[in-house]
Structure 1
Amino acid sequence: MGTLLALMSALGYGLSDFWGGTASRRVGFARVALLGQLGGLAVTALAGLLVFPAGPHPADLGWGALSGVGTGIAMTFLFRGISRGAMSVVVPISAVGGAALPVLLGTALLGERPAASVWAGIAMAVPALWLVAGGATGAGPNARAAVGDGLIAGVGIAVQYLALARAAPASGIWPVTAGRAAAVVLVAAFAWTLASGSSDTAPGPGHRADLTAVFSGILAAAALVSYLFATRTEYLAVAVVLSSLYPIVPVVLGVTALRERLHSSQIIGLVAASAASIVIATS
């Protein structure tokens, strides 16, 4: 069940990044990140009241808030990177750091010992994600800056995954809600500082992109809830790596819907990532 939840998380994240990324090119990355976190906060708070009315332990809310700090960093820099670079490059780069760091720390600090077949899948998945991001090194200045944004987003994603996994099972989804609240504050601060003096402050073309941004945030929150429940029945390394396969979705949609070019290394990476998910899921 944990592997299925982690794969559902990957699907939700992938769709969220695609819709949020396309909206960031129309109304600005800071606005999209903020609207998305507000949408996620509203939905998770309502779901928490309806499904988990009992209040969680303050420590679990603290872990959730720390996870939200990672989310705020990840979403702001991810959408900024997408707004000035290829989605099929920026998103996979963010996933590499987001997957590798929790796996290493989960093994070193938490004493996790997945089966050998799981490690084989993980060893295949991480370089596969890097291959999906192939072709970025020869791009222009904006694309190189977008790669830097993707790397920063990857650190934020790692913090998000690691902190949320520390919340107790009895806390329900309240840690995710606490994370959305912290992310709203952080993204608002980023929006104030990063968007000042840039074209991101320009008014958007209409309400459709704003609604898309809110929807992307709701999808991301749902994906994070799926990941949270996955960590309660699976090793952290397994849940993180499977959830981190989300770049497959925006890469495929970027190629098919946005006409972005797919390099041969990316094709190899997509095939390897798919094989890795099957190996881990069947272990």
Structure 2
Amino acid sequence: MGESLALLSALCFGITHFVNGLLSRRDQGMTVALHAQVGGTALALVLAPSLSGGSAALADYGWGVLSGVGTGVGVAFLYRAMSQGAMSVVVPVSDVGAVALPVLVGVILLGEHLSAPVWVGMAAVPPALWLVSQNTPGAGRERHGTLSEGVPSALVAGGGFGLQFLAMAQVDGDSGLWPVALSRVVSVVVIAAVLTPYGGGRWTMPTGAWATAVAAGMVGTAAIVLYLEATAHQLMAVATVLSSLYPAVPVVLALLLLGERLNRRQVLGLVCASLAIGLIALR
């Protein structure tokens, strides 16, 4: 049950980032992030009263705030990275921090114990992400520019997503959705705060692009709710790694919908990611 929820969360995360990544190629990335999070926040506020299954403690709201900070930083800088560099590069790079931080905390500080197959599966994730991020070699300057553009912003995004996963996993599964709603609100505030210094201060989008960003942001809220449910049925480290396999989704969608071609390294990376999922599910 926990593995399925985490993988469904990964699918939703991947769709969200793919759609908003496309928008970020035409509009300022952080502006896209802002409106996407507004849409996700609206959905969370609508769902929270009807789906609340229990009473949240003060600590749950505190973790929700911290998760919102991570979400805001992660989304803002990921979409900024997507507007600067290749999607197949910056998304896997951002995923490194999203995987590493919660897993290290879960194992080292929280005392979570993992079986040998799970360790092997998690060890397969970094090479899988690295292989998926390899573009078809080009010529000279174009090749080097493609691999480097957006990477600094992607690394910042990875740290933000790692904080998001780590904090949200500490929220009691019986606390309802109000901590998630609070997390969404905080993420909007964080993105608005960094939009002027890092995003050029552009606040508006064309109507069609705005509606798409808002819808994709709602899918992102569904992803974090699914992740929260997954951590209630699974070790945090395992749920985090499975949810963080979402970079494979933009690669596959780009292949099917945009006519992009995978090189041999990327195909090997997707096979490696599938192997990781199978091993981690054994736990």
SS of match in other structure, 2:234:
coil
Cα distance in 1, alignment partners of residues 186 and 221 from structure 2: 13
1:182 paired to 2:183: no
Structure 2 residue aligned with 1:226? 226
TM-score in terms of structure 1 length: 0.92
Structure 1 residues 136 and 190: alpha-carbon distance in aligned structure 2, compared to 1, 3 A threshold: farther
Q: CA deviation at 1:203?
A: 6.3
Cα-Cα RMSD: 2.0
Seen in structure 2, the aligned counterparts of structure 1 residues 120 and 212 have a Cα distance that, compared at 3 Å, is: same
Q: CA deviation at 1:127?
A: 2.1
1:91 alignment partner AA: V
Bigger CA drift: 140-149 or 85-94?
140-149
Superposed displacement of residue 114, structure 1: 1.6
Q: Which residue of 1 aligns with 2:49?
A: 49
Residue aligning to 1:252: 252
In 2, the alpha carbon distance for the partners of 1:272 and 1:142 equals: 23
- Given the alignment, which residue of 166, 169, 178 partners 2:173? 169
Aligned length: 279
Show structure 1 runs of 5+ residues with no match: none
Counting only pairs closer than 5 Å after superposition, residues 1-283 of structure 1 correspond to structure 2 as: 1-52=1-52, 55-135=55-135, 139-141=143-145, 144-196=148-200, 201=202, 204=205, 206-283=206-283
State the Cα distance separating 1:143 from its structure 2 match. 5.1
Deviation of 1:104 after TM superposition, in Å, equals: 1.4
Separation of aligned partners in 1, 2:222 and 2:275: 25
166-175 or 183-192, larger mean C-alpha shift: 166-175
For 1:190 and 1:143, the matched residues in 2 are separated by: 25
Distance (Å, rounded) in 1 between the aligned partners of 2:100 and 2:273: 14
State the distance in 2 between where 1:176 and 1:45 align.
9
Query: How far off is 1:85 after superposition?
Result: 1.2
Preserved contact between residue 89 and residue 136 of structure 1 (Cα < 8 Å): no
- Counterpart residue identity of residue 248, structure 2: I
Distance in 1 (alpha carbons) for counterparts of 2:180 and 2:126? 26
Cα distance in 2 for residues equivalent to 1:202 and 1:51: 32
TM-score (norm 2): 0.92
**Whole-angstrom distance in 1 between the partners of 2:45 and 2:86:** 34
Contact 1:125 1:273 in 2 (8 A): yes
Asked if the contact 1:131–1:266 (Cα under 8 Å) also holds between the matched residues in 2, the reply is yes
Name the amino acid aligned to 2:167. A
Q: Kindly state the Cα deviation for residue 53 of structure 1 after the two structures are TM-superposed.
A: 7.1
Q: State the shift of 1:105 in Å.
A: 1.5
Letter in 2 for 1:235: L
Per-residue Cα deviation, 1:7-29 (whole angstroms, up to 9, x for no partner): 00000000000011111122221
Deviations 1:163-194 (A, max 9, x none): 11111122122221111011010001111221
2-structure distance, mates of 1:237, 1:102 = 6
SS of the residue corresponding to residue 170 of structure 1 reads coil
User: Using the alignment, how far apart are the partners of 1:40 and 1:225 within structure 2?
Assistant: 11
Distance 1:136 1:69 in 2: 35
CA distance in 2, matches of 1:136, 1:111: 41
2: CA distance, partners of 1:86 / 1:217: 21
Q: Percent identity?
A: 46
Q: C-alpha separation between the residues in 2 aligned to 1:281 and 1:246?
A: 16
